[in-house]
Amino acid sequence: MSQTSATITSEGTGMAHDGAHQTRNSTGGDDSEAIARRAAAAEFSHDHPDIRPGDAGWATQDLAGYVARAREKLQPGPDGEPVGVAKRFMDADWSPSEHEAAVHEALPR
């Protein structure tokens, strides 16, 4: 089955599923804002694995700062490539952890 359909997972993320039940990000890898948000979610998740959206302490986090730093990292470095963690999120096949997906959905737009 080669047809692709979009579904919403229990974490609230929009994912596309193909017939082989492989999951991939439905937003694609060409949108720099989407890439920055994926990178910000992963970096926050790495820095604060114990803080989830809605938890005590969530409101005090600088989420907009994470997104801004990720946008900066998307700017080409000396070699013409994005720097830092942002390189990892240029691939449309981003597969977030449950925590990363929850953070991604809660990031300010």
Q: Round to whole Å and give the CA distance between 101 and 12.
A: 8
Residue 21: pLDDT above 70? no
Domain ranges of the chain: 30-106
Any idea which of 2-11, 58-67, 72-81, 91-100 has the lowest mean pLDDT?
2-11
C-alpha gyration radius of the chain: 15
What band does 90 get if pLDDT is binned at 50, 70 and 90? Answer: low
Any idea which of 4-18, 58-72, 79-93, 95-109 has the lowest mean pLDDT?
4-18
What band does 92 get if pLDDT is binned at 50, 70 and 90? Answer: low
Say what the pTM is.
Answer: 0.60
Q: What is the mean pLDDT of residues 13-24?
A: 38
pLDDT on residue 78 = 83
Residue 70: pLDDT above 80? yes
Structure tokens, 36: 């920055």
DSSP 77-98: -TTSSBPGGGGGGGSTT----H
Mean predicted lDDT score pLDDT of the chain: 71
